[in-house]
Homo-oligomer: A and B are copies of this chain.
Amino acid sequence: MSDFLKNEFCATEINQQVLNQRAYNQRWAELPDGTIPLTAADPDFPVPGPIYESLMEYLQGGYLSYGPPAGLPEFREAAANRFSLRDGTELSADRIVAIDSAASGMVALARVYLDVGDEMLIFDPVDFLFSHGAEKAGAKTARFKLSANGEIDWDAFESLISPRTKMIGVCQPHNPLGRNLTKSELQRILELAQKYDLWILADEIWSDIVFRPGRHISMLSIEGAAERTLLLQGTSKSFGLAGARIGFVALPDAQHVADFLERSGAVYTSLGASTLSQIAAIAAWDRCSQWLAGFVDHLQLQRDFACDRLKGLAGVSISKPDATFVLFPDISNTGWTAEALSDHLKHQAKVAVVPGSERWFGPGAIGHIRLSLATTRDILSEAFDRIESNWPV
């Protein structure tokens, strides 16, 4: 297996015993013994060694005092450096706010930038956090149906913009379709945002997981986008830091940061991110690029393997994703609902998947299931053996 699995605090590839204790969110710690979770998008691999080392070193200092509302200066610098370099943008530290997970940031941004009754235009299907954020802000969503392969009908997209629309939500790369929007698609979204004076909420939490020969295209890299883009980043997908709850929000300028800190509660300490978790994120961005490259290589092989196995199942169609470590096969031709099929697989095959229910991904998810690939080849292979043996069609 790949070298990335070898790091100094994990002698074996994965530590099943620790996963059984620590991996929640529909994973090892919550499922019956022996069930394989291909559920929450959280890697089965331990966090990279440099993160562990940085945390140990920081703890030696002995203090966990209050951090600043926008995050530690070194966190903001590390975020700005890493993402501007990677994405070819001019993101500066004074535009960054540390946040306790992209999920929390989604709600905070929606609350600050949307009023009750406003609308957010989002894709369908898409990760539930967009509609969750809108709901918490008292806003509504309009959903544009996105197909895995198809062209976007921009007239239809534009027709969903109403006088109440204040924001377009973009998941780039897209969860659960695993699709990397093209530069021209992002430009088109920006043009509409400019035409109707809308915010763009760009959730780029999956941006580290883009497969060769593709590369991530950040909304911030599109000329003219920075002044109306609210960027969300996190560390849970790329570095296994979901439990540490750490990401950031990037805003158009320092004045927007000041307003956000005031209005979100960060100035009052009611919103903020653990300083320890910030230290973990700095190490992830500054010291784990080699680890990450190995991880993405492994995931690309997992994707190819899993797509081949899925194609062998009756009634399943899947298009190979460009990005993310989730697959979202269409299972509607099996004649089973996603919920019933997921239940069947959980009980008969002892493999847990996420049904593409409206609650989690919108109505466009109906007839799909979602599978995570961020595990070892052995486990993924065993999961597909079981699925095949118990496939009900």
Contact = CB atoms under 8 A, between A and B. Distances in A.
Interface of A: 9-10, 15, 18-19, 21-25, 27, 29-30, 40, 42, 46-47, 52, 55-56, 59-68, 100-101, 103-104, 106-107, 128-129, 132-133, 136, 236, 240-246, 265, 268-277, 280
Contacts of A245: 100, 272-274
**Chain A at the B interface: SS class:** loop
A244 B15 contact: no
B101 A269 contact: yes
Given A24-B68, A132-B270, 8 more contacts: A25-B67, A30-B68, A52-B62, A64-B240, A64-B241, A129-B270, A132-B268, A277-B277
B104 A242 contact: no
Contact of A101 (B59, B241, B244, B270): B270
B241 A103 contact: no
A103 B272 CA distance: 10
B276 A277 contact: yes
A79 B98 CA distance: 28
Given A23-B66, A66-B40, A276 B274 contact: yes
A244 B47 contact: no
A265 B132 contact: yes
A202 B24 CA distance: 30
Contacts of A64: 22, 47, 240-244, 280
A23 B65 contact: yes
A111 to B, nearest CB: 9
Given A62-B15, A244-B64, A268 B129 contact: yes
Contact of A63 (B46, B67, B132, B275): B46
A10 B40 CA distance: 40
13 contacts: A9-B60, A18-B62, A22-B63, A23-B63, A23-B66, A24-B68, A55-B276, A65-B243, A100-B245, A132-B268, A243-B276, A245-B272, A277-B277
B101 A65 contact: no
